Amino acid sequence: MQDSFADVVLTGERVTLRPMREEDAEAVVRWRNDPEIHRWLFSQKLLTLESHREWFRRPKPDRLDFVVCLKETGQPIGTVAFSGLDAARGRAEAGKMIGEPSLWGKGLMKEAFTLWLAFGFERLGLRCIYIRTMASNFRSIGLNEKLGFTVEEVIRGGHQAGGVREDILIMGLTREAALRSGVIAGGNQP
């Protein structure tokens, strides 16, 4: 799937989104292994450059990974992704991360994720996008809610890390809710 969108660049006011490249490996590994980010990931295995590059090279027909960059400098600062892309059902799971702690809380992920969601609904023809998050990840939950996501399911004790069990929230956003929340404009339907 990634190859189909190799030339796509999504542009916002302060960020751009472009397809992930192999040379992004060092930044991605650093971000995902940062303890302040790693604690929110469902995979608790630390990455190595080699393991990330192996993952990157494998075909992923139901997955699309982009890197979030500062528009002004082109500096990579995070990632967005769709996994479990199911064209027949019009569904996908979204993921998001700003990897540079100095840029947290500046609204960059809201801008990037809004671009990503609009891309999913308008270009990929998705009808529903969902996201999984740990119930204590209040920052992520707050952003999801601002963009129109609602809690669809709670998986009690669904994640365990460091001997602690935590609930997982599955939040969903339909195309109709994205229209109401302004994530996508009414005239841009495929």
Closest listed residue to residue 174, CA positions, set 151, 153, 154, 149: 149
Beta strands across the sheet bearing 64-70: 10-11, 15-19, 64-70, 76-86, 91-98, 128-134, 164-174, 150-161
Whether the CB-CB separation of 94 and 81 falls below 8 Å is answered with yes
**Distance from the Cα of residue 81 to its chain's centroid:** 4
Q: How many CA atoms lie within 13 A of 119 on its CB side?
A: 23
Whether the CB-CB separation of 116 and 96 falls below 8 Å is answered with yes
DSSP type of residue 115: H
Interstrand relation of 10-11 and 64-70 (parallel, antiparallel or unpaired): unpaired
CA distance 16 to 12: 6
Closest listed residue to residue 49, CA positions, set 73, 70, 25: 25
Domain ranges across the chain: 2-188
Predicted TM-score of the model (pTM): 0.90
Which tokens sit at 125?
């023809």
| Sequential DSSP letters for 37-74 | HHTT-S--SPP-HHHHHHHHHS--TT-EEEEEEETTT-
The CATH H-level superfamily of 2-188 is: Gcn5-related N-acetyltransferase (GNAT) (3.40.630.30)
Written as tens digits, the pLDDT of the chain (190 aa) is 566 888 899 999 999 999 999 999 999 999 998 888 887 777 778 888 999 999 999 999 999 999 999 999 999 999 999 999 998 999 999 999 999 989 999 999 999 999 999 999 999 999 999 999 999 899 999 999 999 999 999 989 887 766 778 899 999 999 999 998 888 876 444 3
